[in-house]
Structures are given as structure tokens and as C-alpha cells.
Chains A and B, each alone.
Chain A
Amino acid sequence: MKIVEVENLRLSYDGVRRVLDNISFEVSKGEFIVILGRLGSGKTSLLRVLSGLIPHVYYGNVEGEVNVCGKNIVEVGAEGLIGCVGLVIDDPSKQIFNLTVEDDVAFGPLNMGLSEEEVLERTRTAIKALGLTGLEKRNPKELSGGQQQRVALAGVFALRPKLLLLDEPISMLDPIGKIEVLKSLRKLNRDYGVSCIISESGNDLEEVVEIASRVIVLDKGKIVADGEPEEILSKNIVEKLGFEKPFRIKLFSKIRRMNMGLEDIVKSAIINRRESGNVTYNGEEILNVKNVKYAYPNGVLALKDISLSVYKGEMLGIIGQNGSGKTTLALVMAGVLEPQSGEVRVYGRNIREYSLKERIRLVNYVFQNPDNQLFSETVEEEVAFALKMLRYPPKVISQKVTEVLRIFGLEKYRKMPISELTKDVKALTSLASIYILEPKVLIVDEPTNGLDYSSSLKIMSILKELTLKDKSVVIISHNMKLIHRFCDRVVVIHNGQVLLQGKPNEVFKKISVLRRISIKPPPIFEVAYELSEKLGIDSERAIAALELIVREGG
């Protein structure tokens, strides 16, 4: 039975440029499809068409034939697809309307005008299916990101859709949230037969692909590959489009080529192991957090006796679950929040003793959402804003803006209106607009959130380059692969305390500790852990061997 039938779909917003071009595919009942594409490849537009939002709620010129549950979307719109299609977006907070879980799940059925009994039955079933039993009376805002997204899913599932459209539903979640949501999706797909189409920009490809039955690769509005996950992801086109192949697929394709057993390869790789050079920093302490405690006005203790240092020219990664205290710690480090006890010292002096204008040139913080910062007409004005506030002479401002735009690769966007920028350029502009103050320590909260893999790499590379100019960069992120690849040190925060800290390899190899707090290390560490257990070798040696195999083919 076909749930979706798309034939020669063409979509344009301005009547000229095609956002979707000659798209044809079908979705059968029970399929789990990943739509893989970079930012601007047309993924969200495709989901909006399938949900009937385009052309009924969002403007768009749709050509071709699109039938969902046997209904033509142009004729029925989203209204006619309720009970057939459910849509879930990346940010759970925007999908949750009510202040208890059960109220929110009941919201959709209630809007459908169903009887009280039917509403209750659907609510109970959805809550059970999404593993939310026991949380019915809780305020969704007090739940973790993963739980919130499951509440959003339950709200949609209560409408009894045959097809779930998921627009990067795990991109904003912490590692445990990602696992929880994907597990729930797998359950809805397998146990309830709900077909799923999930869009993915590449950062969570590793996790998403594990439950997919099919991958469709979208590039510039066209389908460039369509097939089973392993077949598609082992093709070179995936890397050509700027995605990183999932580690396991990369590893197994190398092994297949080497025609040897995995254990033998690892053993031989250990023998041929080369010591990889460790990145070092010169050791000058810039910022010191000492025994900091911070409680919110409602009494919640966010930080419990935290101590750590930031050294000159290092890139420090801070990881932990949502609600572990990472952002609070960052705001305390930047002097925005004043701890109840303990202190943050910058160059040996309490940060709160500096004036605001001094402070922002010592330690500064870049928000996760660039829209909180950006307000000027153009990129140039945006980047110049902070210096204008500090009353720098226009000539100096102009010189500094030119230099910062060059560092962040924004020269060609100089005169471009902020409203026309893509997500990645917005993120860079927001970084540049803080970096122009030349803070000694730059704290960046989830810089790659909502970006595709290649944009994420670009941003991380630019931030890494700043450390070569003796700036210290602190990255808060859920993206373990990027943290592993770019950071010199990692601090793991759990329940407002520092649980682990050290070099990435030292931290990520402590798999059992990380698993206990539901942090999923980069896949190489997981495979190495399994191997070390099996072969009885040191996990660090297994990691080095696997790195060698993947990099050089053993």
C-alpha cells in the first residue's frame, strides 16, 4: 500500500528558481526513510509539501502530482490530511502548547472535536506508546529535551497519522534525548506501522541511519540517490556532497577491501601503530572557576562546587546532558550570572570586579540562537555594532570589521541584509559580531546546532584557527564527533558538577562512565571499547588501530 506518491514534483517560491526539481518517489506502509541533504537542499520544503502546508499555509508554486494517503495535497491541504500526516519539527518547545503532558497530548484530538472518551483513549495510548507513563501531570518545560520531543511526538501520534514527517527532530537534543527519540520512532514504525520520513543534514547521520530502511539523498532540489542505507552511504556521492560516512560503514567497507577478519586487522594495525602528536597549549591560565555554586531564583541548584581552568590558546569542549548546567556555567564564566559562592577569576581578578565594558573584552559568550544577537540591516553593520557601542573611531571600526570579516570568511556577505542570510552565515555573523571585541576567552554555545555537516566543519575550523591567535575558545556542544576532532581538552558536566576532564581521548575512552550518564561517545570509541573487551587489549591501542584502519586502510 502506497502512503505517498510523488511524481515530477517541482516547487518554486519565486516562480523562477526551483527549490524542488522533478522529484519522484513513493513511500510504502511501514517504511522509514531518511532524506539526507545539506542546508538549502530542499528537505524542509519537501516535508512541507507532503504535509500540505505548501501551498496552503506557506506560499509556493507546486507542479506535478503529490498524493498522500490517496489525497491530492493541492486539493485538500494540511486540513484534509489531519489523521493521515503528522509533522514534528526540531524544536520541541514550539510544538508544546499546554502545561501538563496529558493536556498537550490531548490537544490535537480535542481540536478534532472527538468525544471525551475517544480523547482520553487516544491520549493514554499515545502516552504509553511514547514511554511517557508516569509523566502525565508533569509540566513539559520541566522535562528533558528528549522527553519534550517525545511529548511532541505523542501529541502528533494521538491524531493517529499513517505517516510521520520529522524535520530534523533530534538536531537540538542532547545525546540521551537523541537516543530516546530514535528509540520511540523505531517503536512507532515497527509496532504501530507508522511510516516515517525524517530529514537529516548530516550531523546525526550515524544515529538516524541505524533505524532507517531507505535513504534518499537530495541535492539542490533533486534526488541524487535513493536506496538502502548501506548501499547509498558507501557511495562516494555522500562524501562529495560534504557528508561524513558513518564510522561503522567506513570501517566495514575498508575491512571488506582488506579481505581479513576485523580482529586480525586490529592486531596488525596495533603493530604498525604510529603515535599521533598531541595538541598542546602553553599552559598560561586565563580563566579560573573556583568552587562555584549557583542556584536559580526558584531554588534549583544548577552548579554545585565547580572548578576548572581555561588556558591560553586552547579549545575546551564542555559536554553534558541538557540541564546538566553547561549554559549556566558559561554565563557564570562570562560574568552574566553571579555565583552564590566561589568565584570566576580572569587574569587573577574576580570577573565581577571588571566593568561590563572591560568584561566583554575579556570573556564573551555567543548564544546558541543567532537571532538573539543579530538586529542590524547588514552583516557589516552587525559586526561593527559592538565597537560602536564602545565608541571606537569610525576609521578603526572600519579596519577591524574588514579584518574580522576576512577571518570569518564573510567578505562577500559584507553588504548583504541579515534577513537574507542562510543559517550557517548567520551563525558566522553572530560569532564575528562578538569576536570583533577580541575577547581573550570566547564561549560558544552549540555553534553547529541546526547546521549541516560541512557548515559545522567550517565553523569549527574557523574557531580552531582563533586558538592559533592565542585566543581561548570554549565550545558547548552535543556533537561528540566535532568535540573529539577539534578540542584540546574536554570537560564533562553532570548534575552541576565536573564529572570528567582531560584530553578528548582520555575522556571518551571512559565509555562505562559516559554510558552511565547517557553520553554517547564518537563511534570509534564504542567500537574500540567492544574490541578491547573482546581482544583483551588496551582501549587506547584499539582506538589508534581503528583510526589507522579508517585513515589508511590498515
Chain B
Amino acid sequence: MPMIFEYEPRNTFLHKLNPIAKVIMLLSIFIVLTVYWDPRFVLTITLISTVLYMVSKTPPKWLLIVLPVTVIRFIESLILGISQAQGAYFHYLPPEVASKVIAKIGPITIIYGGILWTISDILKIVSTIMLTFSFIYTTSLNDIVKMLSFFRVPRKLIYVFVVALKLVPDILREINTTMIAQRLRGWELSSKNPIKLVKQAIPLAYPFLRKTIGYVDTLTVMAYVRGFGASGKMESKWKPKFNISDYIVIATSFIGASLSLYYALEYGIGLI
């Protein structure tokens, strides 16, 4: 069973896609996502991301695991959205729509433009997470190495990336084992007081940290002796092979992103 943030060899459309085509597709979506602020347009991208997530068969559990962190980001978006209390902040929405007051809570005025911004921001976060997870789940470490080398990313940077990708799932496995080991010594997280909880978590944190350091050390050395030591001296001779679906994805992504950018920047479509 793959752990969270771990590639799993499968036979889905995204798995079969050339990593370069996949990166071009994702980059195109990310660029459009950065530009668009109209919730209707962002929602469309979220739907595309959801389809990709489902097509790639990335486990839905991954989303549940990151939910607590995501909720914090949602709250942050909400605060930022609410704080945009002036219609003048919005250049493309008609001023009377942007500044329409939806609610007043004490000194805080919530306007329509701010709410639209919040919705878009939350949708963007969700889309980004889903696309990133789909990429990790469908792209093997070797494909990532080949692709990054092809794009002439410095080998030290590739090295950090590869070690990090290998590390996360393995560390999660270790946390589980350490938790069982400490429970067998009477350790329990049993308090509603956050300070006490942190104090109680120390037995878990310390062996975990020590193991992580040792693990990273071994991992680094093992990667090093398998060629990662040859930093910056070797050029990639990998020649990517594209099939028809790769060309279609690359062309669609390129055309889609170009058109979206053109209409957004020229006519303000998708902006608020």
C-alpha cells in the first residue's frame, strides 16, 4: 500500500503521460489559476482538477489528511477577503456590485467583491492541492529525475527534491511505529490543554526526530553512492519520447493557457 505523497505504479491516463507533457499541462493550469479571480472561471479549473484527480485514481484519503492544514488556509483566505472592504480594490467588477455590502459585523463590513475573492482563493487552494497530489501519485521518481535533468535543473536541487519525496512517506510510516511503541509504555495523548498536549507529544517527537536525522543521513549517503555524488558534472542524455496523447495534451495546454491569458489581460475576462 502506498503511503501518502507516494507514487504508485498504475495504468491511468496521467500515469502514462510523458512527465514533460504532464508538467506542461500542470504549469499551464497553475498559470491560468494564478491569473483568474472570477469564481466561475476558477470553479471550472477546480472541476478540471477534480476530474484529473479522479482519473489519476489518487486516493481521496490524501485530501482528508491535509484537511486540517487546508482549513487554516481557508480561514486565512476568509480574513483576507473580508479585509478587502473597498469596492475600489476590484478593477473589473462594476463598482456597485463590488462594493455591495453583504453584512456588517461590528466594525467589519463584508462586501460582495471580498466574498468573491475568498471563494476564488479557497478554490485555488483546493485545485493546487489536487493537481500537486495527482502529479506526485502519477510520476515516478525516475521520471522526475529525467525531466528535471532534461530542463537542466541543477543536480543539487534535483537531489534535494528526490530525497524529500522519498523521505515523506517513509517518515510517516515511522511515526506510526513510534506511536505504538510509546503507547506500550503508557504514553497517551489525553488532554484538552494544548500546552499539555505538546508536552505529552515529546516522547513521540524525540525518537522520531532522532530517527529522521539518522534516516536522512543514510538516505543521503545511499543516493550519493548511486550517482548523485556526480553533481553538476554529467549531462542528461535522456531523450523524451512523446506519443499522440502527449502531443495533444501539450498543444491543448499551450493553446488553452495562451487564450486564457490573452482574454484575461486584454479584456479582463476571468478577473474581478
Contacts and interface: CB of A to CB of B under 8 A. Distances in A.
Interface of A: 51, 53, 57-58, 77-79, 82, 85-87, 89, 91, 93-95, 97-100, 103, 106-116, 137, 139, 155-156, 159, 296-298, 331, 334, 336, 356-357, 360, 364-365, 367, 369, 371-376, 385-386, 389-390, 419, 433-434, 437
A373 B185 contact: yes
B252 interface: no
B229 to A, nearest CB: 4
Interface stretch (B71-79, B103-111, B175-183): B175-183
B92 interface: no
A112 B227 contact: yes
A439 B50 CA distance: 51
A216 B202 CA distance: 44
A98 B214 contact: no
B237 interface: yes
Interface in B161-202: 162, 166, 170, 174, 177-178, 180-188, 202
Contact of B146 (A110, A155, A334): A110
Contact of A100 (B140, B184, B219, B223): B140
Interface stretch (B118-126, B127-135, B205-213): B205-213
Contact of B181 (A57, A58, A106, A367): A367
28 contacts: A53-B225, A78-B224, A82-B225, A87-B222, A89-B222, A98-B142, A100-B140, A107-B141, A110-B145, A110-B146, A110-B238, A111-B226, A111-B234, A112-B227, A113-B237, A116-B239, A159-B226, A336-B183, A367-B180, A369-B177, A371-B207, A372-B178, A373-B207, A375-B202, A375-B203, A389-B185, A433-B185, A437-B185
Nearest to B222: A95
B142 to A, nearest CB: 5
B57 to A, nearest CB: 15
Contacts of A360: 184-186
Nearest to A336: B180
B221 interface: yes
A448 to B, nearest CB: 18
B48 to A, nearest CB: 27
A53 B221 contact: yes
B149 A156 contact: no
Given A78-B224, A82-B229, 12 more contacts: A78-B229, A79-B230, A82-B227, A99-B2, A111-B227, A111-B230, A113-B230, A116-B237, A297-B1, A356-B183, A372-B181, A372-B211
B90 to A, nearest CB: 46
Given A94-B215, A372-B177, A389-B185, A115 B237 contact: yes
Closest CB pairs A-B (n = 6): A111-B227, A113-B234, A389-B186, A375-B206, A79-B229, A372-B181
Contacts of A376: 206
B6 interface: yes
Contacts of A106: 142
A128 to B, nearest CB: 19
Contacts of B174: 372
A373 B181 contact: yes
A373 B145 contact: no
A115 B188 CA distance: 54
A115 B238 CA distance: 6
A107 B38 CA distance: 44
A218 B254 CA distance: 64
Given A99-B8, A115-B237, A356 B219 contact: no
A372 B174 CA distance: 8
Contacts of B225: 51, 53, 78, 82, 85-87, 156
B211 A385 contact: no
B140 A99 contact: yes
Contacts of B185: 360, 373, 385-386, 389, 433-434, 437
A385 B227 contact: no
Nearest to B235: A113
A365 B224 CA distance: 36
Given A155-B226, A371-B214, A99 B186 contact: no
Interface of B: 1-2, 6-9, 140-142, 145-146, 149, 162, 166, 170, 174, 177-178, 180-188, 202-203, 205-207, 210-211, 214-215, 218-231, 234-239
Contacts of B223: 97
A111 B172 CA distance: 27
Nearest to A113: B234
A53 B222 CA distance: 10
Contacts of A389: 185-188
Nearest to B143: A103
Contacts of B162: 97
A159 B207 contact: no
Nearest to A297: B1
Nearest to A377: B206
A95 B225 CA distance: 10
A386 B142 CA distance: 45
Given A103-B141, A106-B142, A371 B9 contact: no
B207 to A, nearest CB: 4
Contacts of B186: 356-357, 360, 386, 389-390, 437
Contacts of B228: 111
A113 B236 contact: yes
A502 B180 CA distance: 31
A114 to B, nearest CB: 6
A266 B186 CA distance: 54
A507 B145 CA distance: 50
Contacts of A357: 186
Contact of B230 (A58, A82, A356, A419): A82
Contacts of B8: 99, 139
A97 to B, nearest CB: 5
B6 to A, nearest CB: 7
Nearest to B162: A97
Contacts of B214: 371
Nearest to A152: B222
Interface core residue of B6, B184, B226, B234 (most chain A CB under 10 Å): B184
Nearest to B239: A116
Contacts of B222: 87, 89, 94-95, 97
Contacts of B210: 371, 375, 419
A365 B227 contact: no
A84 B245 CA distance: 41
B108 to A, nearest CB: 46
Contacts of A93: 170
Contacts of A111: 145, 226-228, 230, 234
B184 A434 contact: yes
Nearest to B146: A110
B182 to A, nearest CB: 7
Contacts of B9: 99-100, 137, 139
A18 B166 CA distance: 36
Interface core residue of B180, B181, B226, B236 (most chain A CB under 10 Å): B226
B184 A364 contact: yes
B83 to A, nearest CB: 43
Contacts of B234: 111-113
A214 B8 CA distance: 43
Contacts of B224: 53, 57, 78-79
A369 B177 CA distance: 10
B141 A98 contact: yes
